[in-house]
Structure 1
Amino acid sequence: MTESRSETLTRADIAEAIHRKVGMSRAGSLLFVEGIMDHIKEALGRGETVKITRFGTFKLNDKGERIGRNPKTGEEAKIAARRVVTFRASTELKDRVAGR
């Protein structure tokens, strides 16, 4: 069994990796990462699918209104319709995670 890591990769970590690998300034690297994240958020906000080749696809799904239950009380409650973002990993990413 593979040991799991409890560490979290942050935007700052990504910016630092860009700084080291590309030689861009730390501030420039962070602006670059923020710019990419903003572009992805804006595209999703417009209802577009975001596909990053060899990584995965971010897609919007509309979930209809439904009845759910409070797990503590068992009482029924209405869950409002909403739009959610889903992520589907590419085959390459799945293989990397699986250690292949």
Structure 2
Amino acid sequence: MNKQELVNKVAELSGLSKANADTAVAALFDAITDALKQGEEVRMVGFGTFSVSQRAAKEGRNPRTGETIAIAAAKAVKFTAGKGLKDTVNP
């Protein structure tokens, strides 16, 4: 499902116009993004949790040359599915 299909589904399920559903979906994405930028966790009970985790610096290897390279530390977005979502997907 892409963003437009999600907007169409939200409009269908909620009775909103497609324009209003698009605004609502965009606002949801913006709210999640802003919270993650600030280092906050976004927890939706029954659905899941979005969080930011820190990856440590490490050494890697270039597969073409075999040369050792340094991989910098980085932040990564993590999603952990909640019990309700897991139970729906795996009945």
Q: TM-score with structure 2 length normalisation?
A: 0.91
Q: CA RMSD in A?
A: 1.1
Partner of 1:91: 83
Q: Which residue of 1 aligns with 2:37?
A: 45
Partners of 2:63 and 2:84 lie apart in 1 by: 38
1:70 correspondence with 2:78: no
How many angstroms apart in 2 are the aligned matches of 1:11 and 1:52? 20
Higher RCO (C-alpha 8 Å, min separation 6): 2
CA distance in 1, matches of 2:50, 2:68: 32
For the structure 1 residues 73 and 97, does the alpha-carbon distance in structure 2 shift closer, same or farther, using more than 3 Å as the test? farther
Regions of 4+ moved over 3 Å: none
Q: TM-score, normalised by structure 1?
A: 0.84
Note the C-alpha offset of 1:70: 1.3
Match of residue 34 from structure 1: 26
How far apart are residue 18 of structure 1 and its match? 1.8
Q: What's the CA shift string for 1:41-86, capped at 9, x where partnerless?
A: 0000000011111111111111121111112222100000111111
2:9 aligned with 1:17 = yes
C-alpha separation in 2, matches of 1:80 and 1:17: 40
- Residue range with higher mean Cα deviation, 83-92 or 10-19: 10-19
Structure 1: unaligned runs, 5 residues or longer: 1-8
